[in-house]
Chains A and B, each alone.
Chain A
Amino acid sequence: MEREISPGKPMLPNAPFQKDPVEDSVSPWREAFWQLRKNKLAIFGALIIIFFVLVAIIAPFFTPYEYDQLNAGERLSAPSADNWFGTDDLGRDIYTRIVYGARISLMVGFFAVTGALVMGTLLGIIAGFFGKWVDMIISRIFDILLAFPSILLAIAIVAILGPSLQNALLAIAIINIPIFGRLVRSKVLSIRQEEYILAAKAQGMKNGRILFHHILPNSTAPIIVQATLSFGTAILEAAALGFLGLGAQAPMPEWGKMLSDSRQYIQSAPWTVLFPGLSIMLVVLGFNMLGDGLRDALDPKMKN
């Protein structure tokens, strides 16, 4: 269709395409931000995340011990003024380990989600924009990856590559690729049909420019929502792999690994199991609350 209108030809007066300037005076992002600020749960979630990020960054400055500092005389001692969350079976301070564990969990979540987001977005754009057999192949690969329950696929990948934190991170990134890929592909497909894309093509805009100026900015909102929610899921998955012994290895203070190491002491020293689990739950809760809030604010369909 774009070839029928030559670039030099003057455009028709396109009054119906133009939006009312008054209606457009507030940018949709600002409106979404206002909406988000009113959502107490989302703000609470954001505060939880900020708290954990701060804890992770300044961890070494306010922990009295090292995370792998053994203390044979203080095995499995209950929470006290010296050891706020008690000590584990090797006499290590659980509070210190949890603070350092925040670094690991947030790092895994960040890199796994970023990796999945970049790869998924790229594949989704290629599939949606070029269509035909390219789309066929990429979509089938997504179908096949999604045909495996995600945690099982992650376990399989780690079983092949060998257990380590890096491989667990890689596995989590891989299982999340099709989620972003499908999202972006469907967004690209729907945006491609919009009239302003047609107009851009009619003006002789190149594919790459249309992609980066129109299609990507317009699919940002759902990607942000999905990334926030996936961040929480990725942390859960990393903890699950750690718990199964397929993720972080000793003496790393990974929360899931801490749980599996301490589970045999649950009756005599419940604090060894209580605090790592609570930390996982709180951080994931933060991402879920913020993600829900972002969806309500950014997705016009959900607006009342």
Chain B
Amino acid sequence: MLAYTIRRLLMLIPVLLGMSIVTFAIIYLIPGNPARIILGDHATEQAVANLEEQLGLNDPLHIQYLNYIANLLQGDLGTSIRTNAPIASELWPHLAATFELTIFAIAFATFVGVNAGIISAWKQNSWFDYLSMIIALIGVSMPVFWLGLMQQWIFAQELGWFPSFGRDNPRDPVQMITGFHLIDTLLNGRVDQFWTALKHLVMPGIALGTIPMAIIARMTRSSMLEVLRSDFIRTVEAKGTRTFFVIYRHAFKNAVIPVLTVVGLQTGTLLGGAILTETIFSWPGIGRYIFEAIGTRDYPVIQSGILVIAFIFVIINLIVDLLYSYIDPRIKY
């Protein structure tokens, strides 16, 4: 296990290096002079030259890359051109907002998806099975931004159940401690604000969680169907174990590996995919941060934002891989 963990960590190195080359290359792939494009046509030659100097564009390419890596390793993600602030410090509140949204979405998706998948497999070919698989099929085909718009229209504007955008009540903000509103409101002792924050989370969370929910439900169902056909399930049933325990304790435990893979993969996908949900619900997350940077041609922010998300994505995949052998001791490396 230790040997495998080390080998798996070593395998990360070329991928991380490759990722850094890709994000490093972004600014050089821009057609034309990057400094000129960032500043626009009206900028003076002097301003362009200054920005080139600031971005280090005058150094030889390999020196630029080594500087880039050296800075990254020291936790320096560069400076935003638009705000002139270090990106690393600007990033955290956005990242926390996206984490909060993603965790809510994946928790919702996993809970609903896994249970729907289990019941579908258990009652195969029942009306519940058909219904939930049709919902799952529609769920994977739905554009998330359209689902979000429809939710806003029905549940916020027509019914008024949930707020249609933002994270909290802007007139009565809570003091930021962790960046997670659900935690910060409780730390501040503001239970009323906790409910407000939760209400803000419901619609974007469900919109973001719908596609993974559908994928998880389908994966759980097919994985469970396979396990339910196996001999040991027949033995457990013959022993007289109650159906509930057969399904949840014996069968699901053996069907969980592919489900876990999907949950892990989807969590990473959501971090990137959240950009659409964040745009619709004005959620101040990392996706919007990058998207706004595209609008203002703030290339350092684009580079670092994408690199950070990809880094988290890779780490999540690593954790999922390492979890396998913990959950299923039969897996040996």
A152: contacting residue among B30, B138, B144, B275, CB under 8 A: B275
Q: Which of B18, B146, B275 has the most CB of A within 10 A?
A: B146
Verify A240–B276 contact, CB threshold 8 A: yes
Interface size on B, residues (CB 8 A): 41
CB-based contact A147/B137 at 8 Å? no
The answer to whether residues A285 and B294 also contact, given A149-B271, A152-B309 and a CB cut-off of 8 A, is: no
Pair A244/B29 contact, Cβ less than 8 Å: no
Q: Are the C-beta atoms of B141 and A285 separated by less than 8 Å?
A: yes
CB neighbours (8 Å) of A147 from chain B are 15, 18-19, 310, 313-314
Inter-chain contact A236/B143, CB cutoff 8 Å: yes
Q: Does B162 contact A (CB under 8 A)?
A: no
Q: Which residues from chain A contact B145 at a C-beta distance below 8 Å?
A: 239-240, 243, 256, 259-260
What per-residue 1/0 map shows which CB atoms of B127-159 lie under 8 Å from chain A? Answer: 000000000011011111110011011000100
Contact of B143 among A160, A246, A280 (CB under 8 A): A280
Residues of A within 8 A of B (CB-CB), count:
43
Q: Which residues from A are CB-within-8-Å of B29?
A: 160-161
- Does B272 lie within 8 Å of A152, measured CB to CB? yes
Verify A273–B149 contact, CB threshold 8 A: yes
B255 interface residue (CB < 8 Å to A): no
Do A267 and B137 form a contact, CB below 8 Å, given A143-B15, A144-B22, A160-B29? no
B80 at the interface (CB under 8 A from A): no
* Residue ID in chain A nearest B287 by CB atoms: A152
Interface secondary structure of A, over-half rule:
helix
Docked complex Cα distance between A156 and B287 (Å): 12
Interface string of A222-236 (1 = CB under 8 A from B): 000000000010001
A148 with B310, Cβ < 8 A, contacts A266-B152, A270-B153 known: yes
A281 at the interface (CB under 8 A from B): yes
**Any chain B CB within 8 A of the CB of A186?**
no
Residues on the A chain within 8 Å of B30, using CB: 160
Known: A256-B143, A259-B146, A277-B143. Contact between A243 and B276, CB under 8 A?
A: yes
| Complex interface residues of chain A between 58 and 99 (CB less than 8 A to chain B) | none
B261 within 8 A of A: no
Write out the residue numbers on chain A whose beta carbons fall within 8 Å of the beta carbon of B157: 266-267
How far apart sit A292 and B222, CA to CA, in the bound complex (Å)? 13
Q: Which residue on A lies nearest to B268, using beta carbons?
A: A149
* Residue A168 CB within 8 A of the other chain: no
Does A263 sit at the interface, judged by CB under 8 A? yes
B279 within 8 A of A: yes
Task: Give B8-23 as 1s and 0s: 1 = Cβ < 8 Å from A's Cβ atoms.
Answer: 0000001100110010
14 A-B pairs with C-beta separation under 8 A: A141-B18, A144-B18, A147-B19, A148-B309, A155-B290, A244-B276, A256-B143, A260-B145, A266-B149, A266-B157, A273-B149, A274-B150, A284-B142, A285-B138
B interface with A by C-beta (< 8 Å): 14-15, 18-19, 22, 26, 29-31, 137-138, 140-146, 149-150, 152-153, 157, 268-269, 271-273, 275-276, 279-280, 290-291, 294, 302, 306, 309-310, 313-314
Closest 3 pairs (CB-CB, A-B)? A149-B272, A277-B146, A144-B18
Supply 12 further A-B pairs (C-beta < 8 A) apart from A156-B26, A243-B279.
Answer: A143-B18, A144-B15, A147-B15, A147-B19, A148-B310, A150-B272, A152-B272, A243-B145, A243-B276, A260-B145, A266-B152, A288-B141
